[in-house]
Amino acid sequence: MPSLPTGKEVHDISEAKPKGEGEPRKWARTRYDRNWLPCVAEFFGTALFVFSGCASVIENSPGTGRLQPALAHGMALSISIAITAGISGGHMNPAVTLGVTIAGGLKVIMLVPYWAAQFCGAMVGAGFARAVASSHENFVNSSGGAFDAIRDEDQVGRALVAEIVMTFFLVLSVCLSAVNHQSKTPLAPFCIGLTLCVGILGAGAVSGCCLNPARAFGPAVVANHWAYHWVYWVGPLTAGLLVGILLRTLLGDPRTRLIFRKRGPSP
C-alpha cells in the first residue's frame, strides 16, 4: 500500500506548478505600483493642498493680510509632500514635475499622467472649498480662491516676472532638497513648504504668488474666473523649465548633469 506523502513531498508537489502561474497578477500589481499609484498619490495630495489653500483665502480673516494664506499654503504643502513623497515624490505642482523630469528625477513617460492627476485633484480640492465656504458672498468676493491680484494690463509684466522668479526658487528648493543626491535631506517637506510661505509673503501683493498652474486651474474652473489666467501657467512652467536645465547643466550631481559628468552607475 503506498504511503501518504510527507510534508516535504507535498511542498515539492506545490513547487512543481507551472512557473508562469500567478505572473499576470504580479505584473498587474507591479504596473499599478509603478504607474498608477504615484498618480493616485498626486491626485489626493494636490486635492488636499488646493482645498487648504482655497479655504484659507475664502475665509481669510480681516486684518491678517497675507499671513493666514501663506501659513496655510506652506503647511498644507509640507504635509502633502510628507505623506506622498515615498509614493510619487510629492510634487503637487506641474511646474515642479516639469523641473524634476528634466533634472532626471522622473521618467518622461510619467509627465503627462502626473499633470492629469494634479489638475483633477486641484478641481476636486477647489470644489470641496466651495462646498464648505461659510457664505456665497465670501466665495464670490474672493473669486473662489482663484488668483485675482492682476487687475489691469500694467501689472501683467511685473506679475509674470514675480511668478517666474518665485517659482524658480520653489522648484529649485524641491530639486535640491528632494532629488539631487548630493543635497537631498529629510527636511525637504519643511524646506519646500517654507519656501512657498516666504514667496507668498514676499510677492503676494504683486501676482498673488500662485507658483502652481494646478493651484490656479482648480479654483478658476469652480469659480469660472479666468482673468489673466495664462500668467499662472506661463510663469511657473517657464521657471520649472529653467530649473531643470540648470540642474542638468551646472547644479546637478555628477551623475545627472551634462557638464563634467561622472561616469558610472547612478547611486
pLDDT digits (tens, 9 = 90+) for 97-116: 999 999 999 999 999 999 99
Evaluate whether 233 touches 239 at the Cβ level (below 8 Å). no
Mean pLDDT of 204-226: 94
Give the residue with greater pLDDT, 20 vs 203. Answer: 203
List the domains of the chain with CATH numbers.
24-251 (1.20.1080.10)
| pLDDT at position 231 | 97
- Residue 161 one-letter amino acid: V
Sorting pLDDT into bands at 50, 70 and 90, what band is 4?
very low
| pLDDT at position 116 | 98
User: If DSSP codes are grouped into helix, strand and coil, which group holds residue 3?
Assistant: coil
User: What would the pLDDT profile of 243-253 be if each residue is shown by its tens digit?
Assistant: 999 999 988 88
Mean pLDDT of 15-22: 49
User: What would the pLDDT profile of 21-35 be if each residue is shown by its tens digit?
Assistant: 467 777 667 888 888
Mean pLDDT of 189-193: 96
Q: Is 143 left (phi over 0), alpha (psi -120 to 50) or beta?
A: left
pTM, 2 dp: 0.86
Evaluate whether 101 touches 244 at the Cβ level (below 8 Å). yes
Evaluate whether 47 touches 124 at the Cβ level (below 8 Å). yes
Give me the DSSP letters along 158-199.
Answer: HHHHHHHHHHHHHHHHHIIIII-TTT--TTHHHHHHHHHHHH
| pLDDT at position 172 | 97
Helix and strand counts by DSSP (H, E) for the chain: 11, 0
Residue 58 parent element (H or E): helix 37-58
Sorting pLDDT into bands at 50, 70 and 90, what band is 163?
very high
| pLDDT at position 27 | 65
Give the residue with greater pLDDT, 123 vs 140. Answer: 123
Q: Which triple of cell numbers denotes residue 147?
A: 488668483
